[in-house]
Amino acid sequence: MKYALVTGGSRGIGKAVCLKFAQMGVPVLINYHSNETAALDVLKCVQSIGGTAYLLQFDVASEKDVSSAIERWEDEHPDDYIAYLVNNAGIRKDNLMFMMPEKDWHDVIDVTLNGFYYVTRKLLPKMMMRRHGGRIINMASLSGLKGMPGQTNYSAAKGALIGATKALAQETASRNVTVNAIAPGFIESDMTKDLPQEELKKLVPMNRFGRPEEVAALVGFLCSDEAGYITGEVININGGLYS
C-alpha cells in the first residue's frame, strides 16, 4: 500500500494536504510536533470523509526522533511504504537581523532545512528502490525566492530548501521520483494570523490571502500521475504577488 507522509499535518496547509490525500484515496500519516489535539482533529476529519490516517508524532528537527518514529512505523507495516512525502513543517521567528537571537536563527533553519534532510534521507532509499513514481514536495515560500525583511532566518531556510529541491530532483529522476517545491505567498493559517491581513492583502493583486485548500490542490496535482514529468520546479502560489 502506498502511503503519504505530511510533516506538520496537524494545522493550516498541512491539514488541508492531509484531507486532499484522503480525497485522493491515499492513506496518510499525519505528523505533528506538539499539538496532539489539532492532530486528532485532522484524523477525525480524514475519517469522516472515508479516508485512512494515522498520527505519527515526531520533531522533524531531531534526527533521533525522525528515525525512531519512521522505523517503528516501517516495522509495523512491512508491506506498505511511503510514496508521497510532503515536507511541510515550518516555523517563523521573525526579527531584524541585527536583533535576531542565535537561537531563533538556528530554530528556523533546524525545522525547515534540517527537518527536510532528516525525513527525506530516511525515506529516499525505499522510494528510489521501488521506482513506483515517488513524490517529494517541499513547502518553500515566497520569502525563499524574494527574501523578506525581518525574515533573514526564514528566507535563508526556504532559499536553501529550493536549492536542495533542484539538486535532489536530478539525483532521483532516473528512479522515477520527482522532487518539487511550492512557494506560497500569504496563506490564511495560524502562521499568518498575527499579520495585519487587511493591510497586506492590498499588496496582493488578487486582493486576498490564499486558502490552505488552494495549496493542497497543487500538492494533489504534483502527486498525480499527470505530473510525472514535472521535477526540480518551484511553483508559486501567491495571487500574483510575485513571479
CA distances from 73 to 44, 100, 138, 151, 229 (A): 20, 38, 22, 35, 30
Total residues binding ligand NAP (CB under 6 A): 30
Of 3, 84, 118, 154, the active-site residue reads 154
When the beta carbons of 14 and 239 are compared against ligand NAP, the nearer one is: 14
Q: Which of 38, 27, 35, 87 has its CA nearest to residue 60?
A: 87
Length of the chain measured in residues: 243
| C-beta closer to ligand NAP: residue 91 or 136 | 91
The C-alpha angle with vertex 164 and arms to 209 and 39, in degrees rounded to 5, equals 50
How far apart CA 25 and CA 38 sit, in angstroms, is 22
CA atoms within 13 Å, Cβ hemisphere of 107: 10
Q: Select from 3, 4, 8, 53 the one that contacts ligand NAP (CB under 6 A).
A: 8
Could you say whether residue 10 binds ligand NAP (CB under 6 A)?
yes
CB closer to ligand NAP, 113 vs 177: 113
* Residue 5 lies near ligand NAP (rule: CB under 6 A): no
Q: Quick check: helix, strand or coil at residue 208? A: coil
Q: Is 177 near ligand NAP (CB under 6 A)?
A: no
Residue matched to cell numbers 494515522: 54
Q: Judge whether 229 counts as a catalytic residue.
A: no
Binding ligand NAP (rule: CB under 6 A), the pick from 5, 113, 139, 179 is 139
Instruction: Reduce the DSSP state of residue 205 to 3 states and report it.
Output: coil
Q: Which stretch binds ligand NAP (CB under 6 A): 68-76, 83-91, 98-106, 217-225?
A: 83-91
Query: CB 31 → ligand NAP: shortest distance, Å?
Result: 6
Convert residues 17-56 into a mask of x (bound to ligand NAP by CB under 6 A) and - (unbound): --------------xxxxx--x------------------
* Distance of alpha carbon 86 from alpha carbon 99, whole angstroms: 32
Distance in angstroms (rounded) separating the CA atoms of residues 229 and 41: 35
Count the helices and strands in the chain (H runs, E runs).
9, 7
Contact at 8 Å (CB) between 144 and 162?
A: yes
Binder among 5, 13, 145, 241 for ligand NAP (CB under 6 A) = 13
189 contributes a contact to ligand NAP by CB under 6 A:
yes
133 vs 136, beta carbon nearer ligand NAP: 136
**At its nearest, how many Å lie between ligand NAP and the CB of residue 150?**
14
Q: Work out whether 180 is an interface residue with ligand NAP (CB under 6 A).
A: no
The phi and psi torsions of 82 (rounded to 5 degrees) equal -90, 110
Binding-site ranges for ligand NAP (CB under 6 A): 7-8, 10-14, 31-35, 38, 59-61, 88-91, 111, 139, 141, 184, 186-187, 189-192
Active site positions, annotated: 154
